[in-house]
Amino acid sequence: MNNRKLMLGNEAIALGLVENKCAIVTSYPGTPASEILSSAASLQKAGNIQMHTQWAVNEKIAFEIAYTGSISSLRTAVSMKQVGLNVASDPLMSAAYMGTKGGFIIISADDPGPHSSQTEQDSRMMAMMAKIPVLDPDSPAQAREMVSMAYELSEEFGVPVMLRPSTRVCHSRQDIETSRIEPANCDENIKPDFQKDPARWAATPKFRYQLHKALEEKLAVIAKYEKTRPVRKNPGPVNSTAIVVSGVCAAHAEEILKDLELWDTLPLYQVIMPFPLHTDFISHLIDTYEEILVIEETTGIIEIQLRDRHRVKGKMNNIVPCVGELSPEKIEGLIRQTAGMTSSIAETKSVPGRRPTLCAGCPHRASFFAIKKAAPKGIYTSDIGCYTLGLNLGAVDTVLCMGAAVSQAAGFFHAYKNEAKKPDIVATIGDSTFFHSGIPALVDAVVQNIGFVLVILDNRTTAMTGSQPTPDTGLGASGEPLKRVNIESLVKGCGIEFCKTGNPYNLPDFTALVKEAVQYSRKNGPAVVISRYPCLLDRRQKHADPIPVRINENCDGCGYCIKHFECPALVMEQENQPVYIDPILCSRCGVCIHVCPKGSIEKKI
């Protein structure tokens, strides 16, 4: 019987959580981490496992739920992407001081590159700031194994432990042995047991000082923990130069040394716990080698902890790139240089790609078109999500971080409020992002009576990360029915007096609604328009009947629809040539009928 399976890195991590009897898994979706919770929920459902899985409103909430399960003596985990760790940083810092009872793993997936993130930040740096150990897997299989290691470490020392996979670990696939899966037995002996201890769990600043001292003492012992000691991958070679690697760079470096026939020449060490770096390992490196090449993504965490910087070649002396992924080609170049070999690596030329755009039939495109019509000289603030692509339509001027669309709208209002001519300000935010961190900013805007329009782009799901539910969806991580939180009620509860909902597919009516909101905001303060139509990729939702369209003979190739609506299904192969409709891409939403000012797009009869 074949007990092996080709698994995604995030699936392997979820498998590790189930195998290790994790009782609570929480998350907020974000690439490259999103599949961890959905995979755990699938395993839970398939095996009828007694495990709570939950998409939380944001990463801070997800962290606090999972952490509280840990101090009740259960094994728990929270997963997020590296930017989400910023949102959870407040409880992270305190949890490090107060410690844990049951094992607690913080899975923070990094995105060197970055492929789908605002920053390339290194979660290991956050672990160092929080003073908690962090494990750095090189592959899906090792990520799964490190779940067990992390729980053991967390429970032995009573501290949260971070697992930091990077994009190439999360989204690569590996043939993995699955014979140990025994989901039916995973709920054995899971009993919560919270021991009241206010001096620890509700510590005042005086006791926090004591907790900090205790944490430093734990770190000193963890820095000598045998099970997380760096691994010498090739015990044979003796050389005055060594290579130190971590994360996915370890997998690349091993292959490259073998390909270059340097496996028996250059010693290779893999650091599986970059922080705290083993003290004996630091001494061994300094005592043994004259030159040490450190290859790691994204920040020089290992390099920082090596005391004799004169021997270290890395990011601090600009030998190892500080920006972007360390691809196999880059690592081979570094190893060749260290070994005194000539470089035969051909530079990979970047090929200009097609710029990302909203899907054909995406309701957000219609919303942005209406906003531009309603406030053509406005300032447009926006947020994190697929609707960031509204910048292609000239309807997004700023994107900072989750929830900042509303706060930045307030900032622009204050900046211009004493000017004779004030710009209209229109902010856009997705439904999931509104729940995540838009609500507090909206409350502040109400209190300050900010004159702006907030358009909540409610496509009934968290579309960008794979259609995870929102609090308004009424479904849980496994598809189980939950209570719903109504956005209109929430908006009105924040104190908004102008709150109206429209369907962006009805473009003329929706444009009129946004114009009405803009007029209201100029004199009365904040107004909210909820743009509601389900994401076309979400097959759970009911969609309108298709409207077939055609280009008639009036099309003179002016390109207005291409420039201002940018639907991928509208194609103009050469300038000034008539537009045609790609039947494969067209969703038959019919919105483009209202876009052409010359009436050249019409319903096909």
CA-CA distance, 52 to 13, in Å (whole number)? 16
Distance of CA 218 to the CA centre of its chain: 30
CA-CA distance, 196 to 213, in Å (whole number)? 22
User: Among 228, 247, 221, 58, which Cα is nearest to 131's?
Assistant: 221
Strand partners, 529: 455, 500
- Strands 24-27 and 76-81: what pairing? parallel
What would the two tokens of residue 304 be? 């920082």
Residue 494, annotated as binding a ligand: no
Torsion sign over Cα 219, 225, 228, 231: positive
At position 435, the amino acid (one-letter code) is F
CA-CA distance, 275 to 164, in Å (whole number)? 11
User: Residue 328 belongs to what H/E stretch?
Assistant: helix 328-339
DSSP 335: H
What would the two tokens of residue 225 be? 């923990």
Query: What is the secondary structure of 470-507 as a DSSP string?
Result: -TTT-B-TTS-B-----HHHHHHHTT-SEEEEE-TTSH
Torsion sign over Cα 206, 207, 208, 213: positive
Residue 567, annotated as binding a ligand: yes
Query: What values do phi and psi take at 581, rounded to 5?
Result: -105, 125
298 prior amide bond cis, ω within 30: yes
What would the two tokens of residue 196 be? 């009241």
User: Among 77, 105, 84, 109, which Cα is nearest to 8's?
Assistant: 109
276 prior amide bond cis, ω within 30: yes
**Cα angle value 196/198/199 (rounded, 5°):** 125
Residue 558, annotated as binding a ligand: yes
At position 594, the amino acid (one-letter code) is H
What Å distances lie between residue 75 and 29, 88, 227, 388, 537, CA to CA? 21, 19, 20, 37, 35
Q: Which residues are annotated as a binding site for [4Fe-4S] cluster?
A: 555, 558, 561, 567, 586, 589, 592, 596
Q: Which residues are annotated as a binding site?
A: 555, 558, 561, 567, 586, 589, 592, 596
